[in-house]
Amino acid sequence: MKVMVRSIMKVLPGKMAEAMKLEEKHMAIASRVLGISARCYRPLSGGGDTTRTIICETEFDSLAAFEAHPEKMGADPEMQALFPKLEAVIDSFEVEFYTPIP
């Protein structure tokens, strides 16, 4: 069963440009390590402080494939170097899971 994972990141004030560059690198690593591609967005409208939000959506073949990804990403030296930089600009992080409607 396919699973779509939606990551919602709230960025610290004044750090959006840096966060977008870091997230672009993160997605390149995910593509190389996991063979997946994500779509990332910035909201144009909505409740709360949308100017500090990055949303990324990625599809996995199964929930098990998603559950295996942190270990694979964490083993990558480039990701190990990038993760602290991402943590330094992210205020909060939320993950949602969706399945397709047949």
The predicted-structure confidence for 32-85, as pLDDT tens digits, reads as follows 998 888 899 988 877 666 789 999 999 999 989 889 888 999 999 999 999 999
In contact, 30 and 65? CB cutoff 8 Å: no
> What pTM does this model have?
0.85
- pLDDT for position 15: 95
Residues 8-23 have a mean pLDDT of 95
User: Contact, 44 vs 95, CB < 8 A?
Assistant: no
pLDDT, mean of residues 16-40: 92
Residue 48 has a pLDDT of 67
Closest CA to 93 of 3, 1, 2, 22: 22
Q: What pLDDT score does 37 carry?
A: 84
Q: What pLDDT, on a 0 to 100 scale, did the predictor assign at position 36? A: 86
